[in-house]
A and B are shown apart, each in its own frame.
Chain A
């Protein structure tokens, strides 16, 4: 009997619950209420009582987070009790409670927030903006935004409501600062005059006679485009970060949670695979092997390829860039 109970607990079914309740979300996606015992445990661990957050309100916060993330599962997948418990325990509940209390305007929570994150936020803003003046302005602007000075339909809106506790609150603040800074930069860059030399446009290359016929160059461009489209997401990210954004191996490695040497090996492998795929694509397009090999030796400047455009063209319509106002 005990073995059966242990197995049920392992798969997320407690003996006090009926088996039917093991799947808390169905296809409809409506999250079931959090188990009372688990809710009490999470409520005590989060320190929500310090900010006057009752269990009922705490439960609503958890349910909203679970509904937004579907317990960390793929959309439409059903989460068992075990998945539910694991998902809630993986959340940074203390940060989540603090963020929601601040969004609700709790004075004690704001004092605690400023004591914890006041200076780190300013330092992060200065690091992101690259200037102390700009950084402090950026931090002050975010403070005002976090405090809920922005109203929408007569209701104070705080970005802290969007924090869901999966990462640290400080990391979320840094990312939010970076988003504000990038959006501001991109918006202001579009407003720069055309004759500004810092607009990022390279001068046109000198026109030279192409070494290959235009038909073969067109085949090459198509082969490269197809090869890039078939690359997995991680390889695409590596190529874009390394070759387009000119990021270093040291900057890329932490994002993929691997060592920079691993990134180097992956890049070498990806470029090798790309070359093979391009050769195969060229042969499929009717070129001989020798002609395909010769086509790979063409000057890249002869190609009318925009790698950035190729990568972005793979985005669905919903992922087109849209600067946050």
Chain B
């Protein structure tokens, strides 16, 4: 028994601790164990120390205040699914929008039947002066391709499909201009094509001159011109279709009558802009030929800005009624217009060359919405019939 035992009667803390940590030799361990077997105080000490060590090794059971390491509730993993779901939803939305955005490309590349696309082509062929008119429009750029507001992707699609279909510029009345060679009719153009009367279903390709003319024009201008041309053509062709359908009005233009026939056989497909035009006939070929040309170039405009619903043409005089019922008179083939003061009752709906009168006589009739008719020799002064 060492001095520590003999001095304190109990093993000191170092010996008890060494016993608990198995750091004693066999002889001293046996002595400590023998003492522990007979000393309840030392047993209590050693068990308490062991209990404290065990609690120190298990931090969850410690009663002391530990440094605050708790995290707020929103940082727990249970809420991690919220940002994850948001990211997933964003990705799904992006993919959906991207697919929807990219989907029109193949639609624009749909091949339109050539018979439909080239329908207005004879108008251009029969009116070569339009070429000059189109040529008069300055191109916005040396390379007209640059003038197109198309994406590079659509241009590639258009160029890749260039050899497949050839259409006239008139067959591409899209908001987006047709390609230079007029090969592709955009999908939007197709829908418009349905409303455009396929009056001239001539499958022949556009003459090279006309194609080159459109090549040098800005795309939007060509489309706008084509729109106007189509509307003008509608009115004129409506008259010719009226001829083929043996309308009540006489055909005054022999040339146009001779150009009827099979080319205008498709006229019944046309849904004319108004029924008024079906009841009237064009009188003179020359002025009427100029008027559509002017319309095609955008120079023929009524001062009201509205579309004409009825037209009567005599040498050096053109009378037109717009949608509002206002009557306009032009003595210079539609270059300048003046509004005729209303001298009739109601709303003017139709104007025509008086039946039986000669072209040189130039007597006009005006019909209002109630069916009353007024007549005029100069288009300015009207008297009730």
Residues from chain A with a CB closer than 8 A to the CB of B22 are 257
Q: In the complex, A119→B56 CA distance in Å? A: 10
Which label, helix, strand, loop or mixed, suits the secondary structure of the B interface? helix
On chain B, the residues within 8 Å of A164 by CB distance are: 14
A176 close to B41 (CB less than 8 A): no
In the complex, which of the residues A72, A75, A127 contacts B55, with contact meaning CB atoms closer than 8 Å? A127
| Inter-subunit contact B48/A181 (CB<8 Å) | yes
Query: With contacts A123-B56, A174-B49 known, is A132 near B39, CB below 8 A?
Result: no
Do B14 and A255 have beta carbons less than 8 Å apart?
no
Residues on A with C-beta less than 8 A from B45 are: 175, 178-179, 182
Q: Which residues in chain A, 35-83, are within 8 Å of chain B measured between CB atoms?
A: 68-70, 72-75
List the A side residues contacting B1 at CB < 8 Å. 75, 318
Is A205 an interface position by the 8 A CB rule?
A: no
Shortest Cβ distance from residue A168 to the other chain B in the assembled complex, whole angstroms: 6
Give CA–CA (A125, B44) in the complex, Å.
15
Q: Of B10, B13, B35, B56, which one neighbours A124 at CB under 8 angstroms?
A: B56
B110 is an interface residue with CB less than 8 A from chain A = no
Complex Cα distance A20/B34, Å? 36
B14 and A311 form a contact (CB under 8 A): no
CB <8 Å contact, A236 and B38 = yes
Residue contact B38 to A245, C-beta cutoff 8 Å = no
From residue 26 to 69 of chain B, which have CB atoms closer than 8 A to chain A? 27-28, 30, 33-41, 43-53, 55-56, 62-64
- Does B6 belong to the interface (CB within 8 Å)? yes
A126 at the interface (CB under 8 A from B): yes
Q: How far is it, in angstroms, between the C-alpha of A72 and the C-alpha of B13 when the chains are bound? A: 16
Bound: A308/B55 CA distance, A: 29
Chain A, residue nearest B14 (CB): A164
Tell whether, in the assembled complex, residue B2 and residue A70 are in contact, meaning their CB atoms are under 8 Å apart: yes
For B307, the chain A residues whose CB sits under 8 A away are none
Cα distance, A131 to B281, chains bound together (Å): 115
A140 to B5, CA, bound (A): 27
Q: Are B17 and A236 in contact (CB under 8 A)?
A: no
Query: Considering the chains assembled together, what is the distance between the CA atoms of A68 and B30 in angstroms?
Result: 17
The answer to whether A73 and B10 touch (CB under 8 A), given A177-B49, A237-B33, is: no
Q: Which of A217-275 contact B (CB under 8 A)?
A: 233-237, 239-241, 244-245, 247, 251, 254-255, 257
Residue pair B46, A175 in contact (C-beta under 8 Å): yes
User: Is the beta-carbon distance between B38 and A315 smaller than 8 angstroms?
Assistant: yes
Instruction: Give the residues in chain A near B53, CB-CB below 8 Å.
Output: 124, 171, 174
Taking the closest CB of chain B, its distance from the CB of A234, in whole angstroms, is 6
Q: Any chain A CB within 8 A of the CB of B246?
A: no
**Measured CA separation A72–B30 after assembly (Å):** 12
CB pair A171 B49 closer than 8 Å: yes
Q: A233-B33, A318-B1 are in contact. Are A162 and B12 (CB under 8 A)?
A: yes
Instruction: Find out whether the CB atom of B62 lies under 8 angstroms from the CB atom of A123.
Output: yes
Say whether A90 faces chain B, with CB atoms less than 8 Å apart.
yes
B55 touches A167 (CB 8 A): no
Contact of A233 among B21, B34, B62 (CB under 8 A): B34
A257, B26: Cα distance in complex, Å: 13
Q: Does A211 contact B (CB under 8 A)?
A: no
**Cα of A130 to Cα of B24 in the assembled complex, Å:** 29
Which residues of chain A come closer than 8 Å to B30, judged between CB atoms?
Answer: 233
Query: Does chain A have a CB within 8 A of B20?
Result: yes
CA distance A233 to B27 in the complex (A): 12
> What residues on A are CB-neighbors of B20 within 8 Å?
167, 171, 175, 254-255
Q: Which residues of B contact A311 (CB under 8 A)?
A: 37-38
Contact B17 A308 (CB under 8 A): no
**Chain B nearest CB: distance from A62 CB in Å?**
15
Known: A164-B14, A175-B13. A73 touches B27 (CB 8 A): yes
In the complex, the answer to whether B40 meets A244 with C-beta atoms within 8 Å is: yes
B33 contacts A234, C-beta separation under 8 Å: yes
Complex CA gap A4/B5 in Å reads: 41
**When A171-B49, A172-B17, A178-B45 are in contact, do A321 and B39 touch as well, CB less than 8 Å?**
yes
Cα A181 to Cα B49 with chains together (Å): 10
The chain B residue sitting closest to A314, CB to CB, is B38
Q: Tell me whether A304 is interfacial, beta carbon within 8 Å.
A: no
Cβ B25 vs Cβ A73 within 8 A = yes
Select which of B10, B17, B27 is within 8 A of A167 by beta carbon: B17
**Is the CB–CB distance between A172 and B14 below 8 Å?**
yes
* Contact (Cβ within 8 A) A126 B63: yes
Q: Which residue of B lies closest to A251 (CB)?
A: B47
- Please tell me if A208 contacts chain B, counting CB pairs below 8 Å: no
Residue of A nearest to B30 (CB): A233
Any chain B CB within 8 A of the CB of A163?
A: yes
Q: Are A182 and B44 in contact (CB under 8 A)?
A: yes
Say yes or no: is B16 at the interface (Cβ < 8 Å to chain A). Answer: yes
B23 within 8 Å of A (CB atoms):
yes
Query: Please, which residues of chain A bring their CB within 8 A of the CB of B18?
Result: 166-167
Residues in chain A near residue B48, CB distance under 8 A: 128, 178, 181-182
Task: Indicate if A320 sits at the interface (CB-CB under 8 A).
Answer: yes
Is A186 an interface residue, CB under 8 A from the partner?
yes
Contact (Cβ within 8 A) A177 B14: no
Q: Which residue on B lies nearest to A308, using beta carbons?
A: B40
Which 10 residue pairs across A and B have the least CB separation, nearest first?
A: A236-B37, A233-B34, A166-B18, A167-B17, A237-B37, A178-B48, A124-B52, A175-B13, A127-B52, A167-B18
A-B contact pairs, 10 of them (CB 8 A): A69-B2, A73-B25, A73-B27, A123-B56, A162-B13, A163-B14, A164-B14, A179-B16, A181-B48, A247-B47
Knowing that A72-B25, A182-B45 are A-B contacts, what are 7 other residue pairs whose CB atoms are under 8 Å apart, sorted by A's residue number?
A75-B1, A120-B56, A127-B52, A162-B13, A168-B21, A174-B52, A245-B44
By a beta-carbon cutoff of 8 Å, the part of chain B in contact with chain A is 1-6, 8-10, 12-25, 27-28, 30, 33-41, 43-53, 55-56, 62-64
Could you list which residues of chain A lie within 8 angstroms of chain B, going by C-beta atoms? 68-70, 72-75, 90, 119-120, 122-128, 132, 159, 162-168, 171-172, 174-179, 181-183, 186, 233-237, 239-241, 244-245, 247, 251, 254-255, 257, 308, 311-312, 314-315, 318-324
